[in-house]
Amino acid sequence: MNKITTRARSLIIQKIRDFFVQNDFLEVETPIMTPIPGMEPHLTPFETTLTPPAISQLSSATKIPMYLNTSPELQMKKLLGSPEGFDKIFNITKVFRNGEMDGPLHNTEFTMLEWYRKNADYKDLMNDCENLVTFLICKILPREANQSVNTQTTDNLTVNGQTQNYSILSQVTKSLSYQSSTINLATPWPRFTTNELFIKYCDLDLLENQDFATFKKTIDEKASSHTVPSSSASPFPFDSSGCATWDDLYFKIFLNYIEPELAKINQPIFIYDYPSSQAALAKRSADNTFFAERFELYIKGIELANAFSELTDSKEQRARLEEEQNLRKQLDKTVFPIDEEFLTALDKIATPTSGIALGLDRLIMLLLDKKSIEEVLLFPMNNLTSLANTLAQR
Amino acid sequence: MSSTTDLKQGLTILHKGNPWLIAVAQFVNPGKGSAFTRAKLRQLKTGQVVEHTFKSGEAVELVDVVRNKCQYLYNDGETYNFMDNENYEQFGLDKELIGDAVKYLIENTECYAMYIDGIPVSIQVPPKMAFKVISAPPGYKGDTATGGSKDATIETGATIKVPLFISEGDIIMVNTAEGNYVSKG
């Protein structure tokens, strides 16, 4: 990452803060290290140990496990449920996911932008996403963006040495140039339910395949007739091998036959109403409880944000956390205690509430037309082999 | 034939009846899902390149591939000719079978010949190779319309995106699987 990109990144983050402050959100800071991290079965937090101070009542042999947050979600909801009356909050914070550092879209430590609002459902957050990206495009990228996005930005950054003086750039750009394609940003952005995508691209209705055995049978039948989805990027027919759960089947199909199609769409898209097995902290859909009110925002096949209408029923939340504890046990992962403070806070949230997590580094990649996350980080952890060799030499 | 659950770059697997070389393998963790491996595969009999995502831990059959050091000699149109450095036999391969590696071949380039059942099916170039830059337009400070990079032509004639400070005559390291610049050599 060069100095120009560094400045552009700094400017984008500054404008993100402007956007939320102008929309009456309060910026909050949450701990990076926590005694009880999120329970997502497939995420692996970094683990460390807190040593009690010598004067503490605790014996010095007492070891308190601590974890680096994989998301500030639990703390954000504790704030929403606190008597202070936080109702619109945002947070720009570092999060950590152990084992995730392969490829152009992952760095094991990355920056998350989360925002939460009361009296809002997940569709309100879709509007927030459209407004945020449009705001950033207006503030940061000039109208000439289609030809030379970064040149213009750079000139202004370099010449003025200032970042606030962007009045000449205020004309609305309705498109973004990314890796030789033009992304049309005109709102509203297309919205598809997960089931619409499975039907459209794979001729598979999730509602007819709600349990593992049925879903696997359907896929195996397609496999035995060598059915390849016609629009697919992969030439291989459907195949259930390696899949032990309903979600494995879902993702194997999604990643092979749906996500590549999404990458061809030159517009940001919202995918919504996820199977509730993939939305442990989300409210179930009023129309069909098989689905939950969760959405993801994709731009050029890149997963940018993940949002929920928050589940605020602490009883149901406890049951789902217990399910996830079991799943973690089965997967041989560290099992965390249930965060009682979090459940207590949920009960205090009296109005419908929604929250979203957006990968800030990925958004910056898109805005600055960078191919990989390491190009927008000053200290990417991209060369594990050389790191391992260096340490081995000590 | 053996099998593995560990998909790695450079392995050749038997999938749906055909041998596929894993050119690139990447970890994917879809949101709230378990781990998957996204692979870029090259069919060794046809040269076809595809992407496919495997469930991590999915058992795949390995193809026994014999790898001998070889040397690139010359091409006559569509056929690229090599000499096996172990038995000194020459063999020719269609351009399609060589895939992207064709961009990194100049006379006497050392690479690996891949044999399945005694028949040469493809070659593999080293994952990182050094090349001399034969032409690189000067970069202008502040020009980031190209994302802080520019096109340079290396001695094989291939074009590689390089940082602005690279100039003609420099030696650069190239990642041959991804086709991108790694460092100034």
Please tell me the predicted confidence (pLDDT) of residue A106.
Answer: 86
In the three-class reduction of DSSP (H, G, I as helix; E, B as strand; rest coil), residue B113 is classed as strand
Give residue A94's pLDDT band: very low, low, confident or very high (50, 70, 90).
Answer: very high
Please tell me the predicted confidence (pLDDT) of residue A212.
Answer: 95
A242·B55 Cβ contact <8 A = yes
Give me the residue from A234, A235, A278 closest to B31, CB to CB: A278
**Residue of B55, B141, B143, B180 best to disrupt the A interface, most CBs of A under 10 A:** B55
In the three-class reduction of DSSP (H, G, I as helix; E, B as strand; rest coil), residue B38 is classed as strand
Give me the residue from A150, A256, A296 closest to B144, CB to CB: A150
Vertex A268, ends A19 and B144: CA angle to 5°? 70
Cα A261 from Cα A274, distance rounded (Å): 18
Hey, is the C-beta of B127 within 8 angstroms of any chain A C-beta? no
Residue A144 has pLDDT above 60, yes or no: no
The structural domains of chain B, ordered by start, are: 3-62 (2.30.30.30), 66-124 (2.40.50.140), 128-184 (2.40.50.140)
Tokens for B8? 């790695």
High-pLDDT (> 70) share of chain B, % = 91
Q: Which of A167-171, B34-38, B144-148 has the lowest mean pLDDT?
A: A167-171
Residue A161 has pLDDT above 50, yes or no: no
Q: For tokens 């449920």, what's the residue?
A: A81
Cα A319 from Cα A325, distance rounded (Å): 10
- The alpha carbon of residue A118 and the mean position of all alpha carbons in its chain are separated, in whole angstroms, by 20
Q: What ipTM score was computed for the predicted complex, to two decimals? A: 0.73
Give residue A163's pLDDT band: very low, low, confident or very high (50, 70, 90).
Answer: very low
Longest dimension (CA), chain B: 56
Please tell me the predicted confidence (pLDDT) of residue B147.
Answer: 53
Task: Write down the H helix ranges in B18-108.
Answer: 95-98
High-pLDDT (> 70) share of chain A, % = 89
Higher pLDDT, B44 or B82: B82
Please tell me the predicted confidence (pLDDT) of residue B146.
Answer: 45
Higher pLDDT, A3 or B70: B70
Please tell me the predicted confidence (pLDDT) of residue B81.
Answer: 93
Vertex A150, ends A146 and A153: CA angle to 5°? 110
Ramachandran quadrant class, A369 (left: phi over 0; alpha: psi -120 to 50; beta: rest) = left
Q: Which amino acid appears at position B5 of this protein?
A: T
Q: Is the distance from CB of B122 to CB of B114 less than 8 angstroms?
A: yes
Give me the residue from B26, B52, B53 closest to A102, CB to CB: B26
Residue A158 has pLDDT above 70, yes or no: no
Give me the residue from B36, B51, B143 closest to A251, CB to CB: B36
Domain ranges, ordered by start, for chain A = 3-190+265-393
Using CA atoms of B93, B99, B102, B104 in order, give the dihedral in degrees to the nearest 10. Answer: -130
pLDDT in tens, B81-123: 999 999 999 999 988 888 888 899 988 889 999 998 888 988 8
Overall average pLDDT of the B55-66 stretch: 87
Q: For tokens 């035995």, what's the residue?
A: A224
**Residue of A240, A250, A252 best to disrupt the B interface, most CBs of B under 10 A:** A252
Higher pLDDT, A140 or B12: B12
Residue A229 has pLDDT above 70, yes or no: yes
Residues of chain B positioned with their CB less than 8 A from the CB of A97: 29
Residue B183 has pLDDT above 80, yes or no: yes
Give residue A383's pLDDT band: very low, low, confident or very high (50, 70, 90).
Answer: low
B144·A248 Cβ contact <8 A = no
Range A3-190+265-393 has CATH code 1.10.10.10: no
CB count in 10 Å sphere of residue A24: 9
Residues 6+ away with beta carbon under 8 Å from A359: A110, A111, A112, A113, A303, A304, A305
Is the peptide bond preceding residue A188 cis, with omega within 30 degrees of 0?
Answer: yes
A241·B51 Cβ contact <8 A = no
B145·A150 Cβ contact <8 A = yes
Cα A256 from Cα A236, distance rounded (Å): 9
Residue A152 has pLDDT above 50, yes or no: no
Residue A279 has pLDDT above 90, yes or no: no
What average pLDDT does chain A have? 86
Residues of chain B positioned with their CB less than 8 A from the CB of A148: 145
Residue of B nearest to A375 (CA): B147
Residue B138 has pLDDT above 60, yes or no: yes
Residue B3 has pLDDT above 80, yes or no: no
Cα B53 from Cα A124, distance rounded (Å): 33
Q: In terms of pTM, does the model score above 0.95?
A: no
Strand A191-193 to A269-275 pairing: parallel
Cα A69 from Cα A47, distance rounded (Å): 10
Higher pLDDT, A382 or A356: A356
Vertex A137, ends A133 and A143: CA angle to 5°? 150
Residues 6+ away with beta carbon under 8 Å from A298: A262, A268, A269, A270, A271, A304
A42·B52 Cβ contact <8 A = no
In the three-class reduction of DSSP (H, G, I as helix; E, B as strand; rest coil), residue B78 is classed as coil
Interface A-B, measured as beta-carbon pairs within 8 A, has a size of: 108
B27·A100 Cβ contact <8 A = yes
In the three-class reduction of DSSP (H, G, I as helix; E, B as strand; rest coil), residue B24 is classed as strand
B148·A4 Cβ contact <8 A = yes
Cα B51 from Cα A236, distance rounded (Å): 10
Residues of chain B positioned with their CB less than 8 A from the CB of A236: 15-16, 50, 52
Please tell me the predicted confidence (pLDDT) of residue B121.
Answer: 87
CB count in 10 Å sphere of residue A230: 9
Hey, is the C-beta of B178 within 8 angstroms of any chain A C-beta? no
High-pLDDT (> 90) share of chain A, % = 60
